Amino acid sequence: MSAISIGQALVLGVVEGVTEFLPVSSTGHLKITEGLMNIPVDDKGVVAFTAVIQVGAIAAVLVYFFKDIKRFLAAWFRGLFNREERYHHDYKFTWWVIYATIPIVIVGLAAKPLIEGPLASLWVVAGSLIVGSGVMWAADQMGRHKRSEDDTSLKDAMIVGCSQILALLFPGFSRSGATMSTGLILDLDRVAVTRLSFFLGLPALTGAGLYELKDAVGGGVGTVPLVVGTAVSFVVAYASIAWLLKFVAKHSFNAFVVYRVVVGVALFGLLGAGVLNA
């Protein structure tokens, strides 16, 4: 059994809330934190717990972007019954998010044994943090930042959506980092790629959390720690979203690149010294 105490759930909830939407890898940080607290990172119940508390962060997106999401869904429902409405960007954008989620769902189900097994290693996290940093830096340099959210297309959404698979297979790469980097390569501006990353995360992370719920409870984590972790992640994630949108409007992603490299190198050192168990 993989019991997680309320105190540990609180800490993990904070880590999840802070890192879920920053391009630094929430999964990687959660696994590092679990390792430091001697929680088995590859335990089925623990893996499920980290997926479930992501729902709190997703709820923060729903609340923060409520007006946008309401507008998208209203346009989508109108378009289902009115052909003229189907030409509106909001209607098409909603379908694009749905389509762009399909690849990660297929890979997630097919590769579940690998994701919860060998790929859950902290060695993978350390390597992915550093490699992902290089990708993010290159994307920020390559991108011309000339296209806004209204300029996105189905092709953009599908390419960015598929990039989430990198973070799914290699914890530490970062879902936000992968989607933002891909969007930058497609010449979307930083605010547009950040918002697109938020919206693409809604169905993927919600589905993963609900799918893993039974394993988290059945794995010995317990209902109270799940509730605590999820609630804390919601509160912290809401503040993180507000900060990130203001930050990317005026700054590059270089600060995140440097931070990821430092954490990745430090993690390699801790693993090599035997301080952490991979």
- Residue 278, domain member (yes or no): no
| HSE, side-chain direction, 13 A CA sphere, residue 172 | 28
Asked, for residue 199, whether it belongs to a domain, the answer is yes
Helices (H), strands (E): how many in the chain? 13, 0
Lowest mean pLDDT among 46-50, 131-135, 228-232, 255-259: 46-50
Look at residue 176 and tell me if it is in a domain.
yes
Domain count, the chain: 1
User: 144 and 192 in contact (C-beta within 8 Å)?
Assistant: no
Q: What does pLDDT average to over the chain?
A: 89
Domain of residue 15 covers: 6-272
Tell whether the model's pLDDT for residue 275 goes beyond 80.
yes
Handedness of CA 92, 95, 97, 100 (dihedral sign): negative
| Mean pLDDT, range 67-79, rounded to an integer | 94
Q: Is 213 among the domain residues?
A: yes
Residue 149 falls inside a structural domain:
yes
Residues 6 or more apart in contact with residue 217 via CB below 8 angstroms: 223, 226
Confidence of residue 126 (pLDDT cuts 50, 70, 90): very high
Q: What angle do CA 165, 238, 184 make, to 5 degrees?
A: 40
> Structure pTM?
0.86
Classify residue 254: in a domain, yes or no.
yes
Q: 277 lies in a domain?
A: no
**Distance between the two ends of the chain, CA-based, in angstroms?**
19
* Mean pLDDT value of segment 226-252: 93
